[in-house]
Amino acid sequence: MILAIDTATRWLGLALHDGKAIITEEGWRSVNTQTIDLAPAVATILARSGITAANLKAIAIAIGPGSYTGLRVGLGLAKGMALAYQTPLIGIPTLDIVAASFCELPGDLIVTAEAGRTRILVGRFQWTKRYGWQTDERPELTTWAALLDAQQSEATFAGEITEEAGKAIRNSGKPFTLAPPAACVRRAGYLAELGWRHWRKKKIDNPAALVPDYLREPAGA
């Protein structure tokens, strides 16, 4: 059984994967309460599924980019569990989780997440027949205006998209498609699926060395 933990942004997610299917999955919007919410939620999802932390085969954790507080809370708990129970730890980039939920589409897949102060985190993915959506670029910290101005080719936008940004995408006059709201949700089930694939290929991270990708320094650093 793999436990997936995603606290990269205000959208939190947990899931359990037994290697064949998602056993349980939860997602909710948390505003500045990640520290309070996370540990009890993990305990509840494990208890409801009838397993203990010691029985986990691995833990998959979203490592960013994302918010300083969210990533610190999630990775701190995941590392603590991994070290306490000698459980393999697997770090997965945040934007890859959304990309993993999409089948082949024309053009690029652009995945976004909130970064605060009107800024967004952006990942550009291209479809490959063998591996699905892949990117060889570092995520970018930018604004919606700059992103829509720079993007000229056909693209589908997904992830955390405000109502205002959605209108700008639809009214851009460019070959852009806005993914439906349900498809934009970053689901922990896909994090668990990616984690399972990594675990099977023995792509395991060292808990002591795994660090979050903030993409930017926290305020006051």
For position 58, which CATH number holds?
A: 3.30.420.40
The predicted model gives 182-191 an average pLDDT of 97
pLDDT of residue 219: 46
User: Does residue 18 form part of some domain?
Assistant: yes
Residue 125 confidence (pLDDT): 99
Within a domain: residue 33? yes
Confidence of residue 221 (pLDDT cuts 50, 70, 90): very low
Q: Is the pLDDT of residue 220 over 70?
A: no
> Average pLDDT of the chain?
95
Are residue 180 and residue 192 in the same domain, yes or no?
Answer: no
Domain co-membership, 173 together with 194: no
For 24-50, what is each residue's pLDDT tens digit?
A: 999 999 888 889 999 999 999 999 999
**Per-residue pLDDT averaged across 6-30, rounded?**
96
Task: Note the pLDDT of residue 187.
Answer: 98
Q: Are residues 36 and 62 in the same domain?
A: yes
Q: State how many domains the chain has.
A: 2
Is position 16 within any domain?
A: yes
pLDDT at residue 33, rounded to an integer: 87
Q: Above pLDDT 90, what percent of the chain?
A: 92
Of 121, 156, 115, 162, the residue nearest 138 (C-alpha): 121
Asked if 79 and 107 sit in the same domain, the reply is no
Same domain for 114 and 175? yes
Question: Could you tell me if 110 and 179 lie in one domain?
Answer: yes
Same domain? 19 vs 88: yes
DSSP conformation letters of the chain:
-EEEEE-SSSEEEEEEE-SSSEEEEEEEE-SS-HHHHHHHHHHHHHHHTT--GGG-SEEEEE--SS-HHHHHHHHHHHHHHHHHHT--EEEE-HHHHHHTT----SSEEEEEEEEETTEEEEEEEEEETTTEEE--S--EEEEHHHHHHH--S-EEEEES--HHHHHHHHTS-SSEEEPPHHHHS--HHHHHHHHHHHHHTT--B-TTT-----SSPPTT-
Q: pLDDT, tens digit, for every residue of 116-171? A: 888 999 999 999 999 999 999 999 999 999 999 999 999 999 999 999 999 999 99
pLDDT surpassing 50 at residue 51: yes
Residue 102 pLDDT > 60:
yes
Check whether residue 30 and residue 138 sit in a common domain.
no
> Do both 124 and 112 map to the same domain?
yes
pLDDT at residue 216, as a whole number: 63
217 pLDDT above the threshold of 80? no
Residues 191 and 90 in one domain: yes
Q: What is the pLDDT of residues 54-87, one digit of tens each?
A: 999 999 999 999 999 999 999 999 999 999 999 9
Please indicate, yes or no, whether residues 119 and 154 belong to a single structural domain of this protein.
yes
Q: Is residue 82 part of a domain?
A: yes
Same domain, 172 and 113: yes
**What would the two tokens of residue 43 be?**
């305990």
Residue span of the structural domain in which 126 resides: 102-184
| pLDDT, mean of residues 98-122 | 95
Is position 206 within any domain?
no
